[in-house]
Amino acid sequence: MMRVLLAEDDPMIGASVRRGLAQDGFAVDWVADGRAAQAALAERVHDALVLDLGLPRQAGLDVLTAMRRAGDTRPVLITTARDAIADRVAGLDAGADDYLVKPFDLDELAARLRALLRRGAGRAAPKIAYGALELDPAAREVRLGGAPVEVSPREFALLAALLARPGAILSRAQLEDKLYGWDESVESNTVEVHIHALRKKLGPDVIRNVRGVGWMIAKAGTSEATR
C-alpha cells in the first residue's frame, strides 16, 4: 500500500476518489485547498500527489510549482475539469508527471498512480520479484514459488513497502506512515503483528529485524546483524 495525498475541493469527487483508491489498496489523505496541500506535503509521508488545479486558497498549479522549486520529486498526477490544451501544457511544464481530465475512471487513476510509483522507484515491470517471492500490485497478489499466498491488505502493504526498497531499513514509524492515513488509529504493536504473520506465511528469513532500528528485506548477497 502506498500513501497518497489527494488535493480536491469538490466533496463528491474527493469522497469518490478516496473511496476508490482505498479499495485499490492505497492509503489516502484528502485535503480540500492548496494551503492544506502544501502543509501536508511538508510532512514528507506521502508517496504521490493527486492534484486538482482549481483549488481554493492556493491554486493547484502554484502548489505544484512550489513543490518542484523546493526539490520535491514525488510523482504528481493532475486531475482537472479544464480540458484546454494550454492548461495541460502548463501543468506538465510546471512538473506534473501525468494528467487526467474529469470525469475519469477510477481504475485508470489507480493504474496511472501505480505506473508513476514504479517509475519513481526505478522499476519498469509491474510485478516485484525477490527470489521465489513475487508481488503483483495491480492484482494485489503474492506468490511464493509460484503458489498463491493469502495475505491481508495490511500485510500486503507492509510487504510492498519493504520490497520497494531492498536493503533499506524501515523503522516502525516509517512503516506506519505507509500503512495508515490521518484518520486511522494505530496500535503500538501493529507492525510487529503483521511482520509475524508474514514470516509465518513466507518463512522467517524474508523479512529481517535489524535490532533497535527496524525491518528490511536484504539485498542479494548481503548479511546484517538481525534476529
Please report the pLDDT score of residue 4 as a whole number.
95
Share of the chain above pLDDT 70, in %: 92
Task: State yes or no: pLDDT of 226 exceeds 60.
Answer: no
pLDDT (tens digit per residue) in 69-99 = 999 999 999 998 777 788 888 899 999 999 9
Between 169 and 183, the higher pLDDT residue: 169
Please report the pLDDT score of residue 86 as a whole number.
82
Please report the pLDDT score of residue 137 as a whole number.
83
The mean of the pLDDT values for the chain is 88
Please report the pLDDT score of residue 61 as a whole number.
94
DSSP conformational letter for 170: B
Q: How confident is the model at residue 220 (pLDDT cuts 50, 70, 90)?
A: low
Domains identified in the chain and CATH numbers:
3-120 (3.40.50.2300), 128-216 (1.10.10.10)
pTM across the whole model: 0.74
| Sequence-distant (≥ 6) Cβ neighbours of residue 53 within 8 angstroms | 59, 60, 61, 78, 80, 82, 87, 91
Please report the pLDDT score of residue 112 as a whole number.
95
Span 117-121, average pLDDT:
80
Top-confidence range, 149-163, 183-197, 213-227? 149-163
Q: How confident is the model at residue 29 (pLDDT cuts 50, 70, 90)?
A: very high
Please report the pLDDT score of residue 124 as a whole number.
62
Share of the chain above pLDDT 90, in %: 56
Report yes or no: 137 and 112 within 8 Å, Cβ to Cβ.
Answer: no
Reported for 40-46, long-range contacts at CB under 8 A and 24+ positions apart, including other chains, are: 40/5, 41/5, 41/67, 41/72, 41/74, 45/3, 45/177, 46/3, 46/4, 46/5, 46/74
